[in-house]
Structure 1
């Protein structure tokens, strides 16, 4: 008996030793954070020292892309698939849980699940991969890809624990009367507004008063989530974990408990611009809190922190005489049309230049809509202050995590692991090109920097060479017809035979 107990003891020690060597993984997924809002990317008004430090201490991918909108971006991240396939990601309307309570919750979920259907056992998801490799998995925040999901789907996707919104419409407010935790409704005391305190645009005196009427707004959701994020790290300090933190920040409409001291007396900004800047600042503070917690728990050196965003910049601080919606050229008074009249911050009046000088915003297949930050820190593994020109898609994160965790089952992905790039090694495999869909039409970016952009309504194909023209101002389609033809053929194959199937069709659900 003593021998058996001794061998059991050794076995437990061996398992614990193996687990201790597995790196923890934290994915911080910012919502609508334009790449130009970060200090190290040239932001002049908002300082982001904690995110900047991630870049200083880790690796920054300079050619990282994601989808033009949050729903497909989150789906691509979780599944490792791009959004140009004929078989689209299954979605539902985003208003399913507006009137949810304990008595009707089961009926709501059953109705949603009928539309979502069963998950194919052969499908893989980031959470499921980590879970099968012995990780404790958690998702805290906005939750899944939209527009409403279910407890069953969350479990099928591999989340041991989750807390947050199960629908994206309610997630546009920051004072929810209730959230969901592992299938249960959790009431948030002091929050009483059914639409979660969602404010309105554009900025007016009436909307300002509405936004700062704090009756029924006691608990700010991002603060609530951060408490749970830090608690999860504490509770799992002794076993490997994957924590996915899809934040609401800085997605609008604008809402913040108080204006950050950096902006209170900043005469460059309107009141609502000060509030938006404070949302970006809070996101940066949250990153700092997470890094501090890792230090306090002794987990910093064995934790990979991935910071990225779901899509390009969006403006939630419009006001007459500043940036106006519909987005308008302040010189010509013409509305931008995403084609002949492309959006640029210098022409719109965006004081922040949130897309970093690129053309376009969220919902566009221009660079301002799909070029995103991607920063990864892994102490003693990733060379500090390094950058990579590797062409990277958000659907590369799943195969990278699969390799990191030792997952060796066969699975289908459009992504390519960039694990070797993390270690400073020359890539063994890279994309020839990446593809994304959009409301405008699908787009393709090659490893050499060529970009084929479609505009289906105009029946147009545009060709850009991004290393010389990241603002997409010079269409080279007529100058390089052979290259244009070759890239069109590649895009047609990626969209599985029909450009119409490459057109993202979720707009009516927003």
Structure 2
């Protein structure tokens, strides 16, 4: 082929070279960004409360590895979730309160995350991350609500809200169970928590080409409190009820596995650029008991346990460790800013430099600045409630939070900075504050009502 114009030919060749270099640079830049982006491992336990760890002052429970992680991490001391499991998971996944997305209960079809919700796993996936979850999903057992339908490339999980529950694989009992891998039953040997951690480590070992988001959502220490004998024996002489001993044993098993995971991250060289989070999904379920007429256990002086609108129902531990991002105890040991599970998605979009435009209204916000020394969040209000009904009911078990203030059930006002146990109702002394917080709740409730609807399970799909 001949070109009549030599100048045109030179221009054509330059365009090809420039385009090729531009494409190559784009690919190389994308790869570089991928490797610069941190890995994320998000560990959330089930039914473990604020006082069910050693580093919060519990002298009976044995959690040396979690305590060691706390000593290395930044802690959010004023972190809140839902008061039961599915609502917490829904808020974490979407940045939206569970009343908006049909996960306000744990049964009755009201723990299914509505299809139009945008999940944190989808956001990571769309930004080039490998995504995986292990353990408890509890946001839908049918297509299109399963974890591998909601942005997880790989999902290994049990059915329903707990191992051995009706939606789970028949005859599972925590030992040598059958779980679902992307919907397909698979038999495993070993104890459930050990399986979740072992499979997580195997997954991480296989991730070499791009960063990963691993959601490690444990069923422990949720009932039925089946625990290996060696962990039960650890508390044989403790002044606890039998249920509490099993509950603590479950937590100590989790602790050993966290130690194993941390050691693997250290030896593999992945620890430096991995964001490692430890938190829980609601207040303690079995950490407080009665023995010989006396209360046993430890709740860090908080009032209420799982499903309570008081502090002990929704205030939980939160640790974050990321050396390369300067999020360790050296940078900032603790932050007492008000932060909640609904803040996780927008915050991690910032920390991991993800392209993210929310498709729905968010209750949460980006709070990444709390991980920097000497910074404070702007004053704001958040709502947590406990429904456990077939349809949400206004004013039911509600708590409006603003800094250290709590408005419970619309007429009880507490300042947890001076009264952590919530014993003195200050509503008569601060009527204007009560009014303002109730106005916020009323407006918030009205906005959630517009979103409330049931999920529909399609019956005519090959999936």
Q: TM-score under structure 2 normalisation?
A: 0.81
| 2:236–2:245 CA contact under 8 A, matched in 1 | no
Partner in structure 2 of residue 215 of structure 1: none
Partner in structure 1 of residue 147 of structure 2: 154
| CA 154–276 in structure 1, closer or farther in 2 if over 3 Å, else same | closer
Q: What is the SS of the residue equivalent to 1:175? A: coil
Partner in structure 2 of residue 480 of structure 1: 430
Report Cα offsets for 1:207-251 as digits up to 9, x if no partner: xxxxxxxxxxx6321121121011011111442000000001111
Question: Which of 295, 302, 310 lines up with 1:349 in the alignment?
Answer: 295
Aligned-residue offset at 1:279: 1.1
| CA 269–92 in structure 1, closer or farther in 2 if over 3 Å, else same | closer
C-alpha distance in structure 2 between counterparts of 1:473 and 1:501, whole Å: 35
Partner in structure 2 of residue 234 of structure 1: 205
Question: Which of 137, 145, 160 lines up with 1:167 in the alignment?
Answer: 160
C-alpha distance in structure 2 between counterparts of 1:90 and 1:243, whole Å: 25
Question: Which of 202, 219, 223 lines up with 2:190 in the alignment?
Answer: 219
| CA 176–476 in structure 1, closer or farther in 2 if over 3 Å, else same | farther
Question: Which of 430, 443, 464 lines up with 2:399 in the alignment?
Answer: 443
C-alpha distance in structure 2 between counterparts of 1:309 and 1:132, whole Å: 27
C-alpha distance in structure 2 between counterparts of 1:154 and 1:497, whole Å: 27
| CA 28–169 in structure 1, closer or farther in 2 if over 3 Å, else same | closer
C-alpha distance in structure 1 between counterparts of 2:35 and 2:340, whole Å: 30
Q: TM-score under structure 1 normalisation?
A: 0.74
Report Cα offsets for 1:415-472 as digits up to 9, x if no partner: 1112122233624x5451111111452110102x111000xxxxx6211111111101
Pair 1:378-2:322 in alignment: yes
| 2:37–2:353 CA contact under 8 A, matched in 1 | no
Aligned-residue offset at 1:269: 4.1
Q: What is the SS of the residue equivalent to 2:334? A: strand
Partner in structure 1 of residue 125 of structure 2: 131
Q: What is the SS of the residue equivalent to 2:34? A: helix
C-alpha distance in structure 2 between counterparts of 1:116 and 1:143, whole Å: 10
Question: Which of 388, 400, 408 lines up with 2:347 in the alignment?
Answer: 400
Aligned-residue offset at 1:92: 8.0
The 5 A counterparts of 1:59-70 are 59-70=74-85
C-alpha distance in structure 2 between counterparts of 1:369 and 1:462, whole Å: 16
Partner in structure 2 of residue 184 of structure 1: 184
Pair 1:453-2:408 in alignment: yes
| CA 67–149 in structure 1, closer or farther in 2 if over 3 Å, else same | farther
Report Cα offsets for 1:73-103 as digits up to 9, x if no partner: 1101101012354x64387847xxxxxxxxx
The 5 A counterparts of 1:264-413 are 266-269=237-240, 271-315=242-286, 321-322=291-292, 330=293, 349-350=295-296, 352-353=297-298, 355-380=299-324, 381-384=326-329, 386-411=333-358, 412-413=361-362
Q: What is the SS of the residue equivalent to 1:81? A: coil
| CA 483–90 in structure 1, closer or farther in 2 if over 3 Å, else same | closer
Report Cα offsets for 1:140-178 as digits up to 9, x if no partner: 0011435x4546542342111100113114456423742
| 1:175–1:221 CA contact under 8 A, matched in 2 | yes
Report Cα offsets for 1:315-364 as digits up to 9, x if no partner: 17867x45xxxxxxx4xxxxxxxxxxxxxxxxx612x21x2111111011
| 1:81–1:413 CA contact under 8 A, matched in 2 | yes
Number of residue equivalences: 418
Partner in structure 1 of residue 441 of structure 2: 491
Q: What is the SS of the residue equivalent to 2:277? A: strand
C-alpha distance in structure 2 between counterparts of 1:21 and 1:117, whole Å: 32
Contiguous gaps of at least 5 residues in structure 2: 1-16, 166-172, 388-395, 455-463
| 2:41–2:214 CA contact under 8 A, matched in 1 | yes
Name which of structure 1's ranges 218-227 and 5-14 shifts more when overlaid on structure 2. 5-14
| 2:227–2:250 CA contact under 8 A, matched in 1 | yes
| 2:179–2:185 CA contact under 8 A, matched in 1 | yes
C-alpha distance in structure 1 between counterparts of 2:144 and 2:33, whole Å: 31
Report Cα offsets for 1:273-329 as digits up to 9, x if no partner: 43322211111111111111111221101000111110000117867x45xxxxxxx
Q: CA RMSD in A?
A: 3.3
Pair 1:73-2:67 in alignment: no
C-alpha distance in structure 2 between counterparts of 1:263 and 1:502, whole Å: 48
| CA 443–391 in structure 1, closer or farther in 2 if over 3 Å, else same | same
| CA 49–413 in structure 1, closer or farther in 2 if over 3 Å, else same | same
Name which of structure 1's ranges 60-69 and 259-268 shifts more when overlaid on structure 2. 259-268
Partner in structure 1 of residue 8 of structure 2: none
| 1:237–1:297 CA contact under 8 A, matched in 2 | no
| CA 282–117 in structure 1, closer or farther in 2 if over 3 Å, else same | closer
| CA 10–478 in structure 1, closer or farther in 2 if over 3 Å, else same | closer
